[in-house]
Structure 1
Amino acid sequence: MARMRAVVQRVSEASVTVAGETVGAISRPGLCVLVGVTHGDTPEQAAQLARKLWSLRLFPGETADGSAGELSCSDFDGPLLVVSQFTLYGDARKGRRPTWNAAAPGPVAEPLVDEVVARLRALGATVETGRFGADMKVALVNDGPFTVLLEV
């Protein structure tokens, strides 16, 4: 079964630029999410990934009952910067040059990355994005460092 993949980083800030222009940025604690799509991924998986990202408890804080615990972006309106990343499906097991055969082509991947963003926004998330297919420069301050790999 195909599995949509995301690298999730807890950040204090993050931005993405294209040709020197900032196209997306978050300036307070949230998540920087690199999303990879493979052949056979579905809009249902995109929706599942969005729900998981919005509710994933990665932040220290005080819960609603006043006890110490972990918070999700949904608990404090933490923003997300979502960036498409076909290289998450690079395969370098053989030789010295990765292959990209497992990465879905743009016409398949772009609508699914857009679906993740749309579903996050529908859940109430503040979402910034990169620009699909562009040569992007991603800058971030990883808080922890804290990085998680998700597959749905």
Structure 2
Amino acid sequence: MVARIVAVMFLANAAFNAFAQEATVRVAKVDFREIEPLLLEVAFAKPENAELKKSYEASQQKQKEMMGRMLDAQKAGAFNPMEFAKDFASKPWDTEKAARNLARGELIAVIEELYGDKYQLVISESLGEGILYTKLTIPDVTPNVRQHLLKAKASKEKL
């Protein structure tokens, strides 16, 4: 009888440990903004990204010139915010976004090369970045939260 209890407890413990190890999610963080210039350098070194590199460098040069003009205008006391807002609004954001996505793709390749299956989730330490890489299915609970908030709002309005 005691042998059966010990055997059952041993099997239960083994099953629990197997489940606990399976349920463990290994998470890492990376400061994307710190390594973004290096990632872009690696990505832009590839011949297939030459056109995007040219557009990105032109965009960066235009931004640098715009900042220089803005600083000169501020020093001279002739700063017109509307003029610089117009220049800022005309900035080619598509090029910036494409370059950033290229850097993210490069980061995913580096993570997979360095760590393989070690991490299931990699988040960015940079503010506003969020998840960079995942091997997990992450459910979006936004509709459920929205529904809950709407129900709470409706019940308060009835009172």
TM-score normalised to the size of structure 2?
0.25
More strand by share: 1
- Greater CA radius of gyration, 1 or 2? 2
Instruction: Indicate the structure whose relative CO is greater, using CA pairs within 8 Å and at least 6 residues apart.
Output: 1
When normalised by structure 1's length, the TM-score is 0.26
